[in-house]
Structure 1
Amino acid sequence: MSASSDSQEPLTSRLTATIKSTADSLASTVKPAESELARWRRTFDRFATEEVEGKKYLTPSQFVDAIAPTDEGFSKIKREQYTNLFRVADSSRRGLVSFEDFVVFETLLKRPDADYQLAFQVFDVDASGSIDYDEFKAVLSANTAASGIPFDFDCDWMKLYVGKRGDRHVLGYHEFTQLIKGYQGERLRQAFHHFDSDGDGYINPEEFQRILVEIAGHKLSDSVLERLPTLCTMNPGRKISYSEVIAFHNIIREMDAVERIIEHAVRRSKDGRIDVSDFLNEAAGSMRYGMFTPMEANIIWHFASRGNVGASQRLALADFQSLLDAKWQPPEAAALTETTVSGGFLQEMAISTYNFVQGGIAGGIGAYVVYPIDLVKTRLQNQRSTVVGEVLYRNAADCVRKVYANEGGVRAFYRGVMPQLVGVAPEKAIKLTINDLVRKRGTDPETGRISLPVEILAGGLAGGCQVAVTNPLEITKIRLQMAGEITRAEGGGAVPRGAVHIIRQLGLIGLYKGATACFARDIPFSMIYFTSYAHLKKDVFHEGRRGKVLSFGELLTAAGIAGMPAAYLTTPADVVKTRLQTQARAGQTVYKGVSDGIRKILQEEGVKALYKGGLARARNALRILLDCSSRFGMVDSVAAAKGVSSLPKSLRT
């Protein structure tokens, strides 16, 4: 039961982290539509190649392949260390794991106390259901010998659990869990005493580093491990006291609470930064009984600020990541990793091209799906309720029925769709790129925060810039959508003309007729949409918190919720734009511009007319939903492939 030669972490700490990483890895493969037994059978059959009497078994290496995460950097646990769990799964001690053994092991991992259960079985060498002193000593001795820091198994602390020599009793499961929970504290005390040879209550920085690497090296990033000796700079003696050692160990032990308190305090902060007093206030308000001491808070600030100690120093969430995340890398190392993975300029170009194509496909699908709704919306918006004669369409359903019956069936609903499909990719590329660029420039690189005015500005600029592509597409599309109605109104003798004829007829200047109305629609739409979308992801679905990456369904929902009010509220500008860009027929009011159009519509038709097609535009938000959720979901995947997930959690969004 020896540890791997390159490992110095005690078995108890390492085993807990190994079990948690195994459980997380296996849980990540869960597919709700499949039964657990079927999933376990598939995993077993994939790796088991050893056959004995026609039955498959997993060898130790195959078992590790089946349960270990593919990333060896997970919690700094090496793949070789998973062999400790093989000894648990191999209940018959034959060096092979059957499918039945694998099922028992997987079932055990699902228990809430799985880490303690598996640890108990590792220490229970003779499988007697209890652990005696000799078993506990043998297993731990084999795994701590490499560190060079002795542990006295005959200490008073050990006697409290198993009794004194000659009168020792065995430990059941529940007693064992309490012993394991307190073991690291005793290990820390003995290690400090070992190095404090003169008994003055201080040890050298290098000795402190050895102790922490031995006890909790897998819980700290390389950056923090390298800077452990700098803790001595917090006092004038250039040595480290037992109080400081205990304080740092308490921080590690309560790292989840530390992270939660810091995140809550940062969210409440106006500028995204906090000082020591903010941390202590948040801790006092959120913890019923436990509290962090001023020394512990100062140590957190010492390592988060790279040694620039100061209780008044205000730090952002990104500053704490080197302490909170064991896999944290310095920004320059993370950038180097990203550059190495990305493969240089050509691959960056390939990724950009992929982004453009993916966005175009997503936009094209959205445009095609909702195009019939858009056609109905255009017909209703252009219908004047004060013109002489009967109103052609009573409502949307009546419009659908008449278009289908009188203009050629289903094909009539897709008249003018090709220009829309051709222009959707550059339109989305412009809008999304401008929004991303402005948001990036306006985001604080340390806190990852962006002010609401900058968010609104980014959306507005994105909407304004897209008009260069949107307006020619819109006027061409609208005239094609209205062609069937005009032909029918004129007696059906004329054949509807195509997009090329309309473009030639309008000319370059004519293609931008109604551009002011297009600006009046697209700028506020993008202001509302992009701002709402960003806040829904962050505040409702909690993107980025504890490294959370939103699912496609969550992105889809956020996009839909943001798009519908944005579409409906900008309907008046869309109504005016539609009427400005449509060929006016005899008897219809002519509008000189946006303000003139709104004034005349209000006078002649009332407020209700300004919201014609509003519900159709809200439904049309499905197109925006597909565009952006697909695009952003794809970007997340590309970013993960490029190694962006190694960046601090606060910067992943």
Structure 2
Amino acid sequence: MSTASATDVDIGARVKSTIRTTADTLYTSVKPAENELARWRRTFEGCAKEEVEGKKYLNPTQFIDAIAPTDEGFNRIKREQYAVLFRVADVSKRGLVSFEDFVVFETLLKRPDADYQLAFSVFDVDASGSIDFDEFKNVLQANLATSGIPFDFDCDWMKLYLGKRGGRHVVAYQEFTQLMKGFQGERLRQAFHYFDKDDDGYIAPDEFQRIIIEVAGHKLSDSVLERLPTLCLMNQGRKISYSEVFAFHNIIREMDAVERVIQHAIRKSKDGRISVSDFLDQAANTMRYGIFTPLEVNIIWHFASRGAATGSSDQRLTLADFEALLDAKWQPPALTSTPETSKSEHFIHDVLEPIYDFAQGGVAGGLGAYAVYPIDLVKTRLQNQRSTVVGEVLYRNAFDCVKKVYTNEGGVRAFYRGVMPQLVGVAPEKAIKITIVNNIVRQRATDPETGAISLPWEIMAGGTAGACQVVVTNPLEIVKIRLQMAGEITRAEGSGAVPRGAVHVIRQLGLVGLYKGATACLCRDVPFSMIYFTAYAHLKKDVFHEGRRGKVLSFGELLISAGVAGMPAAYFTTPADVVKTRLQSQARAGQTVYKGVVDGFSKILTEEGPKALFKGGIARIIRSSPQFSVTLTAFELLNKYFPYPFANQPVPTRPTRQPTDISRIRARNALRILLDCSSGFGMVDQKAAAKGVQQYLPKSLGM
């Protein structure tokens, strides 16, 4: 075949043979890869049930099974309408498609302009490579018959493309593509004139509905189609003007641009809502050449607000409000009936579900703590090391600490000294933090319509969680620190000393002692949680776009979000952690004793300088970041794969849309081009349609 730069004359000369010749030429020049042939063979074999002389064929129904997109749902495009494309694939006109025909059809779908090529083939019934007036009229007239809205084929617009009736002017492929793009506007104009009997420039609401269903019914959801007559409420006469009809049609034509503007504007909005002025401002900033008129935007708001915003530009709408207009397959939430439950059963579930979440948070917290416990031990040793003690500094850096603990304190086991109390304690600690943030504070502060939560409330939710967890965290931390330092103290006291366990530490401290350093613990955990949970939520939403178009984050995206959020939270709260560690560790002879948080900060600054307040900061990042990565990722995965089993009304999740093969998309788009002529295209009696165009078929391809 010639290159893409070939002229229309070359194209016309090349396609004047039969469809079979054209298809064979296409197949030999764009030979499909072997893996594609194998895939097409599997599809064909799986659908073909007809056999003639031992050879399999596809009938129209089986052909539709083979080529129709699997994710369409067929609620806006009727499944049987794909049979129009069967007539293109059935080049021998015997009512059956062979595997060779199927391969040619699939190869055609690989072309970037396959959608228009297929539409052209539907009209070019004699396979001449061009379309004349009678061909175009007969094919289209047969498919407009059921609409009840006539079309004048002798109009001036048709003459511009195809000349006078019976004339010799024909259109080649390139001209045809423009003809099809402009036809809908002429169809709309003639339909309006047909209903405007008194020529006053207005039609009735039901007549407007009939027109839109005819020219664009496949592009709109059932909800919008049902509410089309309400457009009359935008003016006092309760009728619909020509300007409003064309404004609505322009919205449909530019729906992709409408959706982009809405999404960008909502993304910038603080509360997840936008007004007409927000939309127009965003459109002005992002559209270089196109522009929406105030009438068009008011119509968008009318249908998105279900008529509530008519005449008001101050109505602020959410993305959910626009979905029925933006998505042709949109359906209202299903109202499912559930068995009635008694008050006692409701109460039981209200109690059990938080406990179930609490348990999952505990398991997730335990996994996170165990994964990073050795790093935590090194961090504690470094933070407790006082540079003012006379003699050699015990650990020069984190690597030196790891080496000495491993060599002098019993190998790998030494890094897990005190891990069991940590695991027992970390379960309620992490469960309190996670479940309070996720299931109480954030839910109460989240707008139920937009799913948005303001930044102050996000920070408040994190701070509340951090404050609540101190009840469990402080006793856990002080016991853990004493046990982590036990090996170092034992080595200092001599080989005869025996390290004590958790029970001994608890008895030694008593109830009051277990909360020593609680103020420092608050100073660390509250700002940590404020920074961490706010950063985590925004990384998921703003960086990885969770929830946008139903997106569900992958394991890796959750892990990265949780890990990155922990870095600034861990480092900036290191000074409070240093003071807390010093207060809670057992001071040895010659070491400074601290009376409280303020005294600790003051003495560390005076004796060791500001740098000492960030001791172990890097170790905290190395520990906290992966710990919270594992903890929060584990919690979200547990929630996803092991939800509360007795929930009466599980929260519906929007399924992720699997990517559709580009060939299937092109087949669908070809049908959409035809449906732009009439939403009933392909739904008429096929025998009657065939009779109207049979005279143009060569005898060798007679039906």
TM over 0.5: yes
- Indicate the residue corresponding to 2:654 in structure 1: 645
Matches within 5 A, 1:372-411: 372-411=374-413
Show the counterpart of 2:250. Answer: 250
Contact (CA 8 Å) 1:559, 1:629: kept in 2 or not?
yes
In the alignment, is residue 480 of structure 1 matched against residue 483 of structure 2? yes
Alpha-carbon displacement from aligned partner over 1:522-569 (angstroms, at most 9, x marks no partner)? 110111112222233333444445555444433333333221011001
Within-5 A mapping of 1:85-164: 112-125=112-125, 129-164=129-164
Give the equivalent residue in structure 2 for 1:16.
none
Rounded to whole Å, the distance in 2 between the matches of 1:199 and 1:174 is 36
**1:449-528 → structure 2 map (5 Å cutoff):** 449-528=452-531
Alpha-carbon distance between aligned partners in 1 of 2:518 and 2:323, rounded to the nearest angstrom: 48
Say if 2:625 is the partner of 1:594. no
Q: Is the 8 A contact 2:441 2:461 kept in 1?
A: yes
Aligned pairs for 1:327-406 within 5 A: 327-330=329-332, 333=333, 336=335, 359-406=361-408
| Residue of 602, 616, 620 corresponding to 1:613 | 616
Shift of 1:470: 2.4
Match of 2:627 in 1: 623
Q: After TM superposition, give the deviation of residue 239 of structure 1 in Å.
A: 1.4
Alignment of 1:204-603 (within 5 A): 204-268=204-268, 272-308=272-308, 309-318=310-319, 319-330=321-332, 333=333, 336=335, 359-436=361-438, 437-603=440-606
Q: Distance in 2 between matches of 1:64 and 1:565?
A: 56
Measure, in 2, the Cα distance between the counterparts of 1:173 and 1:163: 16
Please say if residues 316 and 446 of structure 1, whose CA atoms lie closer than 8 Å, have aligned partners that are also in contact: no
1:128 is displaced (CA, Å) by 5.0
Q: For 2:147 and 2:91, how far apart are their aligned partners in 1?
A: 30
Say which SS state the counterpart of residue 150 (structure 1) adopts. coil
Give the conservation status (yes or no) of the 8 Å contact 1:75–1:219: no
Change (3 A) 1:564 1:96: farther
- Tell me: CA distance 1:124–1:616, structure 2 relative to 1, closer, same or farther (3 Å): farther
Q: Residue type of the partner of 1:161?
A: Y
Matches of 1:62 and 1:258 in 2, distance apart? 37
Tell me how far apart the structure 2 counterparts of residues 63 and 352 of structure 1 sit (CA, whole Å): 52
1:45-66: per-residue Cα shift (whole Å, max 9, x none)?
9945759799987776566556
Identical pairs, percent: 74
- The whole-number CA distance in structure 1 between the counterparts of 2:617 and 2:534 is 21
Is 2:185 the counterpart of 1:176?
A: no
What letter is aligned with 2:394?
L
The letter of the residue matching 1:236 is Q
The Cα shift of 1:380 comes to 0.9
* Superposed displacement of residue 379, structure 1: 1.2
Deviation (angstroms), 1:615: 0.5
State the Cα distance separating 1:213 from its structure 2 match: 2.0
Which structure: larger Rg? 2
- Separation (CA, whole Å) in 1 of partners of 2:652 and 2:548: 18
**Structure 2: which amino acid aligns with 1:614?**
G
Separation in 1, partners of 2:352, 2:67: 35
Q: Given the superposition, is the C-alpha separation of residues 324 and 167 from structure 1 closer, same or farther in structure 2, using an over 3 Å criterion?
A: same
SS at match of 1:316: coil
Do the aligned partners of 1:43 and 1:66 also contact (CA within 8 Å) in 2?
no
- CA–CA distance in structure 2, aligned partners of residues 605 and 299 of structure 1: 69
Partner SS for 2:654 = helix
Deviation at 1:441, TM superposition (A): 2.5
SS at match of 1:197: coil
Letter in 1 for 2:413: R
Cα distance, 1:328 vs structure 2: 4.0
Cα separation, 2, equivalents of 1:116 and 1:597 = 77
Q: Deviations over 1:201-245 (max 9, x none)?
A: 222111111222222223223332222111112222221121111
CA separation in 2, counterparts of 1:481 and 1:94? 84
User: What secondary structure is seen at the aligned counterpart in 1 of 2:175?
Assistant: helix
Residues in 2 aligned to 1:248 and 1:569: alpha-carbon distance in whole angstroms: 54
Q: CA contact under 8 A between 2:365 and 2:427: conserved in structure 1? A: yes
- Answer yes or no: is the 8 Å Cα contact 2:206–2:229 preserved in 1: yes
User: Using a 3 Å threshold, how does the CA distance of structure 1 residues 360 and 177 change in structure 2: closer, same or farther?
Assistant: farther
Segment of structure 1 superposing worse, 344-353 or 630-639 = 344-353
Measured in 1, the distance between the counterparts of 2:520 and 2:38 equals 57
Which range is displaced more, 212-221 or 248-257? 212-221
| Residues 562 and 633 in structure 2, CA contact (< 8 A), matched pair in contact too | yes
State the shift of 1:611 in Å. Answer: 1.1
CA distance in structure 1 between the aligned counterparts of 2:630 and 2:110, rounded to whole angstroms: 37
Contact persistence 2:133–2:166 (CA under 8 A): no
Q: Per the alignment, do residues 247 and 504 of structure 1 end up closer, same or farther by CA in structure 2, a change over 3 Å counting?
A: same
State the shift of 1:493 in Å: 2.9
Residue type at the aligned position of 1:148: G
Q: Indicate how the Cα distance of structure 1 residues 295 and 633 shifts in structure 2: closer, same or farther if over 3 A, else same.
A: farther
- By how many angstroms is 1:614 displaced? 0.6
When residues 209 and 579 of structure 1 are mapped into structure 2, their CA distance, relative to the original with a 3 A threshold, is same
1:644 match: secondary structure? coil
CA displacement at 1:622 relative to structure 2: 1.4
How many angstroms apart in 1 are the aligned matches of 2:91 and 2:511? 80
Query: Is the alpha carbon distance of 1:105 and 1:269 closer, same or farther for their aligned partners in structure 2, counting shifts above 3 Å?
Result: same
Once residues 405 and 465 of structure 1 are traced to their aligned partners in structure 2, the CA distance between those partners, rounded to angstroms, is 39
Secondary structure at 1:460's aligned position in 2?
helix
Q: Give the Å deviation of 1:249.
A: 0.7
Q: Structure 2: how far apart are the matches of 1:168 and 1:634? A: 71
Taking the aligned partners of 2:537 and 2:415, their CA distance within structure 1 comes to 34
Q: Which residue type is aligned with residue 315 of structure 1? A: R
Amino acid in the other structure paired with 1:397: F
Structure with greater contact order relative to length (CA < 8 Å, sep ≥ 6): 2
The 8 Å contact of residues 381 and 485 in structure 2, kept in 1 or not, is answered as yes
1:645 counterpart SS class: coil
**Distance in 1 between residues matched to 2:203 and 2:43, nearest whole Å:** 50
> Does the 8 Å CA contact 2:358/2:435 hold for their aligned counterparts?
no
- Retained in 2: the 8 A contact 1:40–1:103? no
Q: Deviations over 1:404-450 (max 9, x none)?
A: 11222222222233333344443333222222332332234455443
Q: Which amino acid aligns with 1:181?
A: K
Deviation at 1:576, TM superposition (A): 1.7
The residue that corresponds to 1:29 in the other structure is none
Count of residues in Structure 1 that have an aligned counterpart in Structure 2: 608
Secondary structure of 1:184's match? Answer: helix
When structure 1 is superposed on structure 2, of 608-617 and 438-447 the one drifting more is 438-447
Q: 1: CA distance between counterparts of 2:35 and 2:471?
A: 54
1:581 and 1:70 map into 2 onto residues whose CA distance is 63
Q: Is the 1:521–1:573 Cα contact (8 Å) retained in structure 2?
A: yes
Query: Distance between the aligned counterparts of 2:465 and 2:220, measured in 1?
Result: 42
- Assess if the C-alpha contact under 8 Å between 1:47 and 1:63 holds in 2: no
Q: Which stretch has the larger CA shift, 348-357 or 234-243? A: 348-357
- Over 3 Å counting, the alpha-carbon distance change for 1:508 and 1:172 in structure 2 is farther
Match of 1:7 in 2: none
Which deviates more, 55-64 or 465-474?
A: 55-64
Task: Please tell me whether the aligned partners of residues 457 and 527 of structure 1 are also in contact (alpha carbons under 8 angstroms).
Answer: yes
TM-score normalised over the length of structure 1: 0.81
